[in-house]
Structure 1
Amino acid sequence: MQGSGLSSGHLFCFLSLMVFNLNDVCAEQIPRPPSNANEQLISDSRASVSLGELEVTEGGSAILPCDMSLPSLDDAIYLVVWFLEPNKKPIYTFDARGKPLSMGRRWSEVVSFGLRADFRFALHGQIPSKGHLIINGTTLSDEGIYRCRVDFKNSPARHFRVQLNVTVPPSEPKITDETGREVRSSKFGPLRERQWAVLQCHVTGGKPSPEVEWYSNGKRFASSTGLEMHNGLQLGLLNDQQIDYYPFLQQRTIVREIRIGPLNRSHQDARFTCKASNSVNNAPKTKTVALDIHLPPLKVDISRMETRFVAGEGSEIRCQTFGSRPAASISWCKDDVCLPDSSYKVFDDENGNVTTSLFRANFSKEDHGKPLTCRASNRLLQASAIEDSIRLDVQFAPMATLRLGPTFKADSIKEGDDVYFECAIQANPNVTRLVWKHEDRILVYNASAKIIMSNQSLVLRGLTRQRSGHYKCVGVNARGEGSSNLVLLTVRYTPVCRYPVTNIRGAERGEFLNLSCSVDALPRPLKYKWALNTTRGWKEISTGSSSSAGTIPLAILATSSNEEILRFRPELEADFGTLACWAYSDLGWQQDPCLFRFFPAGPPESLSNCSVLNQTADSIQVSCSPNDDGGLKQTFQLQAMDVMTGQPQLTLQSDTVAEFWLTDLEPGSTFMLYLYAVNVKGLSQPVVLPVSTLKEAAKRTVPPSTDPFSGRVAGAVAMGVGAGFLLLTTVVVVACLRCRRTRNDATMAMTSSTGLAGQSQYHQQIQLHSNGINHQSAKSRPVHTNGELVSEKPTESFTAHEDHGTAGFYPRTARTSAAPYVGSKGNCLKLPPDYVATMSGAPESCV
């Protein structure tokens, strides 16, 4: 048995070393306490007993002290015994009888401690000081009064008492809302402004009964209410009386409730901590939650760094808001129309407190003046939107709109009226210049021309038909220029002639002429009137009438919108004169009639621009320009006179062009060339051109230099011929006045004699000057660009360029002066009073 006990003792020592890490040497452990270890001295009055107190948390290690100091140096410790009162049997012993303390034997009561207990002490040499009973993994059953008895060799036993209190921590706090729903996260919410937040902290168990409190920002939150619950049943308000009955404490729950509110922005992220504590030696059990409040944005602001925008150019606008929880949503609206999300981007900062939106815009001119709004809102809160707006300042080129003055009707404006245009311009910046255009031609202020410009209006006074056309205004500013729409101004006017005067030559008796009375008019003409003024006076024209009735027989061939064609046939000499035509429209009669002047056929006009084109020793090329053919087909003749002999050398004729080649001439010869235009009525006045062949075989082409000597000769000859022709013309005029009735025959005879007389005069002049003409050298030749004319040039020129008659009638320049019956006042054809009295519908202005 003893051997078995020793073996058990060694095993216990080994286990003690493994579990409790003992530093001293284990003595052999006896299976039971020493026989004298039972309690027998407790009643001894001489025993020294002291009391201490020790607190340990359940599961921790309890270190129970024991005074092992020797009463005297010659004394020794035999035995240390531990009791758990009121039990009389030891629960742990240390036996050092008959051996050093380091070899003392340890024994532990298996039921109470087993391997959880150990005894340790400290030695100073061989003198012990304090010892400790160490109990690991304490439980609530280990709580009680422990007594240590130390037996000495010589001295009486010493007793030391220790009160061991085992503390049981409470459960972890559980935070719920007022409905009992547990708050598992670190955030409590979402909450809203102006509501109350209710938090409850639930703590179960704990010995002694724990204290449960709420703290905020490190300070105790005083406004709390305590409730007591047992097994889920509310027992009422918390009773501060301590209850030590542990089975009851295990099921006891303490609820501490706080109410926070009404909530505002300052409560956002406020932290509230529930603390449960029942021992100063242990850290309290805590749980913290932060309030999560949904808040609307505080402020929204559009960055105004860029205040002006340019139409068609990209721009960036920044909008920033803060104060919203969670982060705000930003939207953009233009003129109350919200823009798509793709047109802007939104950024949040790290804390989600500041939200920024970047709007990339490309504004147009139509956006100028419109409000641009940045709206921030918390989508989780109703009526939380706030906004900031700017009015867009978009710069663009002018936009112009032109219209006729509102008091005018576009279809009733006529000549003589005053009108004005209004140009409405939208521009940013304002226009610096306004330009008016008529058919793309710029108009300028001109009061004398009745063009007046004032502000954004154009006034045209005393309109004429030339003012008709398209008008527009052009505005100019720093961003460019803009043209308005085109406005058509149509000026209504009474009919006017397209060709006021038409001269017709070559008229023959009994032949028909188709005369076109062509007018411009708005509105179109409704009817026409014709009248003929002859040497016998005015005659009204009526279709189909005979000449014996005092009218001219003619017929209307066709009438179009702006033209009437008449078929006219002069039968008598008196039918040659002036024919007048008037058109009538809704605005009245035409003021100035269209005039047709008839002249009988006569000799052609003289040639012009005669010059030498080519000159050699034996040939000369001459060219002229033809003029009026006298109303008949004309041909051209050239007669060359030798200056030295005065004899004709040759005569050439051309049927088509006034151009001649003189060949087989003698070198160094001088000639006087006579050039004519010829028709059946006679010859034109000649153009005299002195020329010479070269002395050497050298060719000469145009343009040669003018020989001064030949020019003097030509001038002298022309002056002589002109004087003679003037004299002959005077004679012819006197003869015509006396023989008016036989005018045609006399005219033809006189024309022929005039041509011969003129030729004779030219020959006489050549004979007078032939001795004074020098021959031309090879390096120079005569140039006569304009041949000298015998007669004066006509005083009138024709204005029509089209054939107004049948064969034999040609519009040509009149050789006579203007008719005496054409007045100058108002350019109106003056009619005799007796004729006006018989003529119906005559224009009033022409009476």
Structure 2
Amino acid sequence: MVFWYKDNIGMPWYSLDARSGLSHASHLTISGDLGNRLYFIMDGEPSQARLKIENISIHDQGIYRCRVDFVNSPTRNFQVNLSLIEQPSSLRVFDAEGREITSNSSAGPFLEEHDLFLSCQVNGGKPRPTVTWWHGNSLLDGVVDTSSNSFTTVNQLFISHVSRYLKGARFECRATSSDTAGHITRNIPLIVYLKPNKVKIVSPNELMSNRKSQNIKCETSGSYPPAKLTWLLDGKSIKQSIVTEEETEFFTASILTLTVSADDDGKELICRAENPRFPGSRIQDSRLISVAYPPKVRVQLDSELSLPAKEGSEVRLKCEGQANPSANNYRWYHNGHIVQLNSTSGVFPIDDVLIMKHVDRKSAGQYACSATNSEGETYSATFDLQVQFTPRCRKGYEEIRVGAIPQKKIKVECHVESVPEVNKFYWTYNTSRNVLRVQGSRMENKGSISTLYFEIPSSENEVHSLSCWAANDLGPQVVPCLFLLVPASTPERPRNCIYTNATVGGTLKVTCRPGRDGGLPQSFVLEVKDVTPFNPPSSGVSTLSDQGEDAPPAFRFLGERPEFEIHSLQPGREYQVSVFAENARGRSTPYEIMPSIRVPLSDTAESVKNHELVQPNTSNQKVSTNLTPIYIVLSSCAVILVIVIITAVSILACRKPSTEVVVRRKNTRKPNNMTEDFELNSEAGFGSGFHRRSAQYRASMYGMDDVERRISNIVDRPDLILSPRSLRNVDEEDQV
């Protein structure tokens, strides 16, 4: 008989009664789960007999004892310790933040050269399971990080510096309770971000042209995901430029189309590569760019001399600036004219330096320089060089002829120039015997002009000339301004007169060139006479004078320049215009501009310019026989209207219209007091104050007695209309 016992239980779990032979043996099992899973197998060979337990579980583990009772032999016992292996639960993997990495997902992303942490854990298992990390066939970590009595077994993998070679790698976590039972495994793909390991500006570092575009290429590699390239110039991001990019999994290229200026020369150009998903992964390559540009120059004082410079001192000017490539040609300019080498005058333009050994008044002015290189030529701003010098006569005032009248006062003006300004004037006069200082005469000084009111003495002390002297802080004037006194004479008549714009509006402009003034200040008078032929009425009776006398001037204009503008000439009338000059000695012969000038009647009449004036019709012209009766009636009305106008003008002239000049004489005025006002009422339609200024001017020019005499003559003449035209300076040749 065979009996199977388990542990300390005295009742057999399985028994075999073979007393009737093995082939007829009876089998008996204990009731319950284990009894239902027990089978005794002999397979025809008693030595191979065995007990089979199906669907074994951990509860089946224990000490099994086999007892065999023989018929004629002692009972034998066999003991077997059945140890069962219980595999742990399936693996679970977590990252450093405690997030579980599920099936079919990857761990990461991890950053190159940063830390990696993964935790693999299982529950249960008998005997206590082992948990390990593997990379291919390499064991990474085989240390269990939990206590032996813990239900959960954990292995934490930590790598302090993730290598770039781990990109795309797979880690494997293995767990087993016995090698016999095999392993439970889990493959974990890794995501590793790589920083760029290379960046370079591959285009040659060539000289760049100013304002011209040039392509510059930069390449980077080693980054995952691919790096982004950015360009910087002088530390600032480049904008408004064209950038072309090429990108692969590990390689990125950027082509920059850059337009530079002269200000960019020497600046740092940077190509920067950065993985946008990898903080701190920035690397860069840089170079200093060289830009070819025209010179940028300015004029500087190349000495310790302070401005303004003193006459006779040495001045050095430096043409400073920058250029790439270097400037190879310099030019110097003074007041817009090129400065040439002049060793006699001590002027030496030597490349970028201008040396002036002895500066004088003519050396002052605006200086500029220009420089040239392969990119072109540029000019500097002007440099104002001021030179201090003692007073000297202004150009055109060195020697002036002045008309003199014995025992009459004259007015002379001395114009000088100096740096610094004049602080003193004095006058001398030269006689045949001596040079004397002017005393007792009135002198007015204003800035660089001194005005002397000098009375010509009697002939026994004849004065030949006057000399004007000035002084400033540097010293006195060396050569005086000379005024030669010559006997005054009447002026020459004006010349080269032209007239324009004889239009329907009745406007006529007359411009002449003044003749010689006879040594005295002169003024100009334009007279306009109405010379329209008179056609008597059909009755033959005329109310006008038939004595054949010349018609008096209809208008008279007075001006300080022979430039006049006549308004309100009557259409259909003919006028004679003449111009003459006058001074204290008298008047010139008149310049008769033209025997007659007609103002057109029609609005369509063209303006007559430069001597092209409408000529009058002769009185003996006959009316065309083709005129209609209506035209004859209109012509008769026009003739009557002309007669009425002439009559009205004659009456108004006799009554002295309100527009004529009214002269007020003050009996209390002293003849020798030339500073008092000599008043004339201003004419309507002309600039206010003109007559007052003209009267003062003439008073200072002729003396009071002569002025009163001449104004009395004016009152007896026809109307005097003063020219309001703005006057320009007299030409130098006309002043002499």
Residues 326-372 of structure 1 show CA distances to partners (whole Å, capped at 9, x for unaligned) of 6556555544x443899897979453x44556666554433321223
Q: Percent same amino acid among aligned pairs? A: 29
2:106 to 159, 178, 186: 186
Q: Distance in 1 between matches of 2:333 and 2:27?
A: 128
Question: Paired residue for 2:326?
Answer: 430
User: Is 1:175 paired with 2:99?
Assistant: no
Change (3 A) 1:86 1:421: farther
Change (3 A) 1:86 1:422: farther
Question: Paired residue for 2:169?
Answer: 270
User: Is 1:398 paired with 2:302?
Assistant: no
Shift of 1:540: 0.9
Shift of 1:419: 0.7
How is 1:151-162 mapped onto 2 (pairs within 5 angstroms)? Answer: none
User: Is 1:543 paired with 2:439?
Assistant: yes
User: Is 1:565 paired with 2:485?
Assistant: no
Q: Distance in 1 between matches of 2:262 and 2:19?
A: 112
User: Is 1:443 paired with 2:330?
Assistant: no
Question: Paired residue for 1:745?
Answer: none
How is 1:150-229 mapped onto 2 (pairs within 5 angstroms)? Answer: 172-176=90-94, 182-184=100-102, 185-188=105-108, 190=110, 193=113, 195=115, 197=116, 199=118, 201-202=120-121, 214-217=133-136, 219-221=137-139, 224-225=142-143
Q: Name the SS of the counterpart of 1:266 in structure 2.
A: helix
Q: Distance in 1 between matches of 2:273 and 2:245?
A: 13
Question: Paired residue for 2:70?
Answer: none
Q: Distance in 2 between matches of 1:41 and 1:227?
A: 56
Question: Paired residue for 1:304?
Answer: 203
The letter of the residue matching 1:595 is L
Question: Paired residue for 2:469?
Answer: 582
Q: Distance in 1 between matches of 2:146 and 2:389?
A: 113
Q: Name the SS of the counterpart of 2:381 in structure 1.
A: coil
Shift of 1:267: 3.5
Change (3 A) 1:346 1:265: farther
Higher relative helix content: 1
Q: Quick check: 1:344–1:357 contact (8 Å CA) kept in 2?
A: no
Q: Distance in 2 between matches of 1:403 and 1:377?
A: 48
How is 1:315-334 mapped onto 2 (pairs within 5 angstroms)? Answer: 317-324=216-223, 328=227, 332-334=231-233
Q: Quick check: 1:346–1:355 contact (8 Å CA) kept in 2?
A: no
Q: Quick check: 1:453–1:459 contact (8 Å CA) kept in 2?
A: yes
Q: Tell me the matched-pair count.
A: 484
Question: Paired residue for 1:288?
Answer: 187
User: Is 1:504 paired with 2:504?
Assistant: no
Question: Paired residue for 1:372?
Answer: 269
Whose Rg is larger? 1
Change (3 A) 1:601 1:485: closer
Change (3 A) 1:560 1:292: same
Q: Distance in 2 between matches of 1:282 and 1:341?
A: 67
Q: Name the SS of the counterpart of 2:165 in structure 1.
A: helix
Q: Quick check: 2:17–2:27 contact (8 Å CA) kept in 1?
A: no
Shift of 1:565: 1.8
2:356 to 437, 460, 481: 460
Shift of 1:379: 7.2
1:518 to 415, 421, 437: 415
Q: Quick check: 1:190–1:294 contact (8 Å CA) kept in 2?
A: yes
Q: Name the SS of the counterpart of 1:537 in structure 2.
A: coil
Q: Quick check: 1:531–1:538 contact (8 Å CA) kept in 2?
A: no
Q: Give the aligned CA root-mean-square deviation in angstroms.
A: 6.3
Can you give the 5+ residue segments of structure 2 that lack an aligned partner in the other structure?
1-15, 30-34, 38-53, 61-83, 497-512, 523-582, 586-697, 707-729
Shift of 1:486: 2.3
Question: Paired residue for 1:339?
Answer: 237
Can you give the 5+ residue segments of structure 1 that lack an aligned partner in the other structure?
1-38, 48-82, 89-110, 114-136, 144-165, 234-252, 545-554, 610-624, 634-678, 682-801, 814-847
The letter of the residue matching 1:567 is Y
More moved, 224-233 vs 428-437: 224-233
Change (3 A) 1:443 1:204: same
Question: Paired residue for 2:481?
Answer: 594
How is 1:100-115 mapped onto 2 (pairs within 5 angstroms)? Answer: none
1:387 to 261, 284, 302: 284
Change (3 A) 1:350 1:604: closer
How is 1:70-81 mapped onto 2 (pairs within 5 angstroms)? Answer: none
Shift of 1:482: 3.2
The letter of the residue matching 1:396 is Y
User: Is 1:476 paired with 2:372?
Assistant: yes
Q: Distance in 2 between matches of 1:601 and 1:205?
A: 142
The letter of the residue matching 1:592 is V
Q: Distance in 2 between matches of 1:211 and 1:408?
A: 96
Q: Quick check: 2:128–2:148 contact (8 Å CA) kept in 1?
A: no
Q: Distance in 2 between matches of 1:258 and 1:630?
A: 122
Q: Distance in 1 between matches of 2:425 and 2:181?
A: 131
Using structure 1 for the length normalisation, give the TM-score.
0.45
Q: Name the SS of the counterpart of 2:391 in structure 1.
A: strand
Q: Distance in 1 between matches of 2:224 and 2:206?
A: 31
How is 1:704-743 mapped onto 2 (pairs within 5 angstroms)? Answer: none
Q: Quick check: 1:514–1:806 contact (8 Å CA) kept in 2?
A: no
More moved, 361-370 vs 399-408: 361-370
The letter of the residue matching 2:427 is W
Residues 30-62 of structure 1 show CA distances to partners (whole Å, capped at 9, x for unaligned) of xxxxxxxxx999997899xxxxxxxxxxxxxxx
Shift of 1:484: 2.4
Residues 446-473 of structure 1 show CA distances to partners (whole Å, capped at 9, x for unaligned) of 3334321234221122112122212222
Residues 467-497 of structure 1 show CA distances to partners (whole Å, capped at 9, x for unaligned) of 2212222233333333323221111111112
The letter of the residue matching 2:266 is G
